[in-house]
Structure 1
Amino acid sequence: MRIFSPFSRNTATMTAFIWLVFTLSAFAAGEPIGEVASMEGTVIAEQSNGTIRNLDLNLPVMAHETIVTGMHSHVEIHFNDDSIYSQGPESRIALDEFVYSEDTSASKLLFKMGKGTFRYVTGQIVKTNPDAFALQTPTTTIGIRGTEIFAVITPEKEEIGNTKLSKGHTMTVGARTLGSPRTSVSVNPKTGEISKPTPVSQKTINKVIKHAPMTSLGELGVGTRSRKDLNRKIQAFKQQMDRTKGSLSGVNQPPDYAKIHRIKQQKDCRRAMENSRNKGGPYGDFGGSEGKEQQGGEQGPTDGPDGPDGPSPSGP
């Protein structure tokens, strides 16, 4: 004969209640400003009250959170203004301000990059209210007017530049202006000195893509043996293909060959990972091998079979 204890039942109810309160409090610190479009490894969101959430595919990110990636980890986030952000391993960024409003004068963005590798493709906020957009490093402020930027931040050096710059637009790093595509500057964190703009090498671009890939652009990044990460990426590419197809021009409009090509890239990447999952091995780099062109590079380093290490909550 089984005896059901009221205490056990009450304990289970209380546990569920505490879990619900904890979950709600995690979201109370800010409003959803975007969602995880792709990730690999371990990624957490820290809040000012000390609450920590584990992020995963399709989960929201909130204003005022700090996104932290672990070793061998990266995350891609799509924000509400259609901008796209990617962060490499052992990196931190504080999402201090994000307002996207029908009142364009009220829209604004301020993200503070602490350390690591970052990429950002601008969205509607830059188009409608560019002066209210800023990315900050520990040393300087980045302003952009329609571009794809990158930053690699270490205690010794900050390298900031762009991989694409729309015609007629500029990018500023402190007092420096970058008016040409594929240019960058170096910043000395100790003195604050900013170098003159110089061309970015293909090796540097490939290294940035390798560590902070964007599935939206048909990039895989570093290979992994983790089945969980392979399944995440496969699902991410399926969703990206649906997004890209949904944004294609109407029947009476000229074909958008750039998006059609992107769908093919996304499809190729998805198939590559499906093949790797079926064979039980890592996938090769797409758009990330140093010294190679942006597609079809050599196979990169891999995580162990148990997956990557998690991030440390502490940091700058």
Structure 2
Amino acid sequence: MDTPVAIQVWTNSFEIGQLPTAIWYHYDVINPDALFKRRNYEIMDRVQLENAAIFTPRAVYDGRKNLFSRRDFPAGTFTVALGRTKKFDVFIKRVSIISPNDVRKLCQRRSPGDTSDNSMSLNLLQLIVRQAPNMRHKFPADARSFYISHNAKDLRIGLSAWRGYFQSVRPVLNKLIINVDVSHAAVYTPGPLIDTMMQHLGLSDVRQLENLRPDELGRLRIFLKGVVIKVTLSNSRPRPIKDLVGQAGLQEFDKENERWTVARHFEHKYNRPVRLPRIVGIRMGATAIIPAEFCQIVPGQVYRKKLPPDTQKDFLGFSTQKPADRLRDIQSAVSGQAGLYGAIHTPSH
């Protein structure tokens, strides 16, 4: 009989060395006007900024209906404004209390008749763990993964492959662990919108954006709709592209009892001439038309659609790692100079 050989196996799981010792208060957030998480985060951020006496320290929010605070405060409605006219009424009421003992119960053996539900305690831990690294890299507080541009690979169609990290808190017997893994995503290449449009269509001259064929404009519209853009001439918050507009600088609208072009409006308002008035631009909101030369793609936006076959091959090559390289990246992320977490222990093996 062969002598058994001992094999050391490492896992990408790290023990949480210090559990929360404070009481947390769980609140329901009711905001009937908000439709998507990005707007919810903006609204709740404004609520906390304008009511700092209540929300100090800052509460933890999941972008939907759950808010967790270390301070207890009475139910109430908070009214905030985004932009000049849009106001939101947010009703917040306490629904439960999460104690340190509730968190400890997550990793205790449950008796057959125990029907208690500690899922909200686990949700709180997930948010606490994910919030700081996610928000540091401009991702939603509750996102399971965040991605960084370091060593990104250009996929040549207006997209780049970014490497990032997946994070998840998991209860096991007598302890809680954080599972950390390397993840990968295709993201819209940040920077000038014109560069991304040309790259996506395989164009070599910016003037080719003046007279796109219907099929080219359709491809570009599908690719860019919903992408969040920062307008370089103003301090307004980034907003998503609603549609594309051909010859954007030449589009006309009524102003001061006469017809103005978009190019004339921008030169008058910002003292900046529109150099490329005939190329495709973007529409934001209901009516705002922005020339593409004043648009920057905000970093870190994950591309959710299916990649073309050639691009899939490049992405797969980027995302394939040898086990040793993957482990090194995970260890560097957790315990390196720019560590993701504080009180966690070494990986289990």
Q: Normalised by the shorter chain, which TM-score bucket?
A: under 0.3
**Structure having greater relative contact order (Cα 8 Å, sep ≥ 6):** 2
The structure with more radius of gyration: 2
